Structure 1
Amino acid sequence: MEKELICICCPMGCHLKVNIEENKVTGNGCKRGINYGLSELTNPVRVITTTVKVKDGENILLPVKTKGEIQKGLIFKCMEELRNIEVTAPIKIGDIIVSNILNTGIDIVSCRDCLILRSKIKN
């Protein structure tokens, strides 16, 4: 059985034809397309980007992302868990917000700095 995909590994957007039975990918412009095509049909993964709530911060939401890829089937569970997270400012870009989300070995990290709200700073 052959499936058609558009590769998202680079801006070329190659039109791939993937045959899982033969472990064969055609239409790729680079080696990354082969890995993408095979993994997309056998074990699709994604990087998640979203926001979490911030307490005492200059912003009420903090952009976060997974530090690596997680299985596509875990996206909704991950989002559900992150919906309940509230962090307290100050936070630096790259800080780990959740370690080992859903036992995947992947951390959720901050995508920006978040300072303490001026009214919360003690003189």
Structure 2
Amino acid sequence: MAIIITDECINCGACEPECPNTAIYEGADDWRYKDGTKLKGKIVLPDGSEIDSDAPQTPVSDDIYYIVPGKCTECKGFHDEPQCAAVCPVDCCIPDSNHIESEETLLNRQSFLHNV
């Protein structure tokens, strides 16, 4: 994951509609690979596992908005900066220093999600 939402999140929801990959979800909400992407039916993830893109996935957080690691591209291929960070009123959308990804990795993810 390139960006994380910290515990300072006030659950305002400003970030959610800004994500071009629909990688941001409200706490406790299930997520799906197909949401906001061109993925349909059975897909093979970059790690080689196969999954139904419409299958509900377990929330990353139960309390605050969260970013799905496998869908975040730091807005590469769409914008010059992560839009969640640009609109967050409390600056809690930050780079995950424990999970740094190259621009190539992020662009490959964008291509995978949107068939670019």
Q: Compute the TM-score of the two structures, normalised by the length of structure 2.
A: 0.23
- State which structure, 1 or 2, has the greater radius of gyration over its C-alpha atoms: 1
**Counting strand residues as a fraction of each chain, which structure ranks higher?**
1
Higher relative contact order (CA 8 A, sep 6+): 2
**Counting helix residues as a fraction of each chain, which structure ranks higher?**
1
